[in-house]
Amino acid sequence: MALKKRERRVPAGGRLAREYPQLSLEQAIDFVISAKKSEGLRERSLKDYAKHYGYFVDWLREKHPDIQYVEDITTEIIRDHVAYMKFDKVRYSGHKYIPTENQPVGLSDTTVNIRLRTLKAIFNQMERDELIEVNPVAKVRLLRQDVDLTNCLTDDEVKAVLAQPKQRDFVGYRDYVAIALLLDSGCRVSEMLSLRIADIDFQTRFITLSGEVNKNRRPRMVPISAHIAKLLLQLIEENRQYFTTDRIFMSCFGDPVTANHFNKRLKYYGEKAGVSGKKMTAHVYRHTWARAMILNGADPFTVQKMGGWSDIRTMRRYIQMDTNDIRRSHDEYSPTSRFIKKRV
């Protein structure tokens, strides 16, 4: 379908101005998805593009019904949308299991920034492809966020969670092995749930993660302990009694376990263990692993390589020390202990 060109007035004697197509809101996302697909973006990322852009368009239809083309979207409208997400958006609106009175108002800063980053990527792509003249998100900044010091589990909380899965049944044992593997390897949940038997070398105790499952598309090798290798072998033997697939983490029906389902299981175990005030997701276990590795004396660059971070600054966000960690480290390594004699 040929795109309608906008007519632009050019002052007498002036140079011929560049013409930009007049894109509807639907045409815009189609062009961006097509461009991103040709760049090799993962299917999950493409779905997130469409989903988050859909939230924005639904809001436009309700609050700014006069806007029909992307050229009509201004920076002020983008900022208005950010304010709506932060202060007015009802979470879980229309959810059939969550009553209206239990639906809080306003999305978290993290959620707002995730959606805003997606909009930035979409409009930046349109600007690069010369589909829009003015980029409305160019001057819009992400929300400033406080550093979360509660994104790790304590040793007592980890022990309490590990005591919850019923290891005598299939699902309970699978969950126990998965949690233990997260704490031992620092794998991302998508990497762990996609594991197959051939990915694990039980002699050298290394897991090989291909670029296809990694977030940054870089293959890497992750070591595991002897105890975790034994747990995995036992789970594999259990799987072989009922299934023919070489997947390691499956439902009781043999289907692949999704990240969303597994995070719900982690939340369930966290509630049973009495852990409060913390998000119970697989990502928290990755934070816990990174922090514990550093506190136990692991080299930061080795942890960076095992965790699959391309930049050590990214890893630093995972390692938040509490006051007890800071006090213990200071008391052990303060230089004054070498210069000032302690009184007997």
The tokens of 214 are what? Answer: 């990694």
User: What is the b/e burial string over 106-127, where b = at least 16 CB atoms within 10 angstroms of the residue's CB?
Assistant: ebeeeebbebbebbbbbbebbb
CB 135 within 8 A of CB 142: no
DSSP codes joined into one string, 199-258: GEETTTTEEEEPTTTSTTS--EEEE--HHHHHHHHHHHHHHHTT----BSSB-TTSPBPP
What's the pLDDT at 52?
A: 96
What's the pLDDT at 246?
A: 94
Indicate the CATH number for domain 155-322: 1.10.443.10
What's the pLDDT at 227?
A: 96
User: What is the b/e burial string over 249-282, where b = at least 16 CB atoms within 10 angstroms of the residue's CB?
Assistant: bbeeeeeebebeebbebbeebbeebebeeebbbb
CB 20 within 8 A of CB 133: yes
Cα–Cα nearest to 192, from 165, 243, 148, 231? 231
Give the global pTM.
Answer: 0.74
The tokens of 69 are what? Answer: 């083309």
Q: Give CA–CA dist 156/161, Å, rounded.
A: 9
What's the pLDDT at 202?
A: 96
Edge-to-edge strand ranges of the sheet holding 220-223: 200-201, 206-209, 220-223
Cα–Cα nearest to 135, from 71, 77, 85? 71
What's the pLDDT at 8?
A: 52
The tokens of 227 are what? Answer: 């105890």
**What are the residue boundaries of the structural domains of the chain, listed by start?**
25-128, 155-322
Can you give the length of the chain in residues?
344
Cα–Cα nearest to 60, from 25, 111, 35, 106? 25
What's the pLDDT at 338?
A: 61
pLDDT along the chain (344 residues), means of 10: 53 63 95 94 91 96 95 96 94 72 85 96 96 96 75 91 95 97 95 95 93 74 95 96 93 93 96 91 93 86 88 73 64 67 54
Q: Give CA–CA dist 217/207, Å, rounded.
A: 16
What's the pLDDT at 334?
A: 67
SS3 of 266-297: the string is HHHHHHHHCCCCCCCCHHHHHHHHHHHHHHCC
Q: Give CA–CA dist 230/252, Å, rounded.
A: 21
Only one residue has tokens 């506190």, namely 295
In this structure, how many other beta carbons lie within 10 angstroms of the beta carbon of residue 63?
A: 13
What's the pLDDT at 152?
A: 87
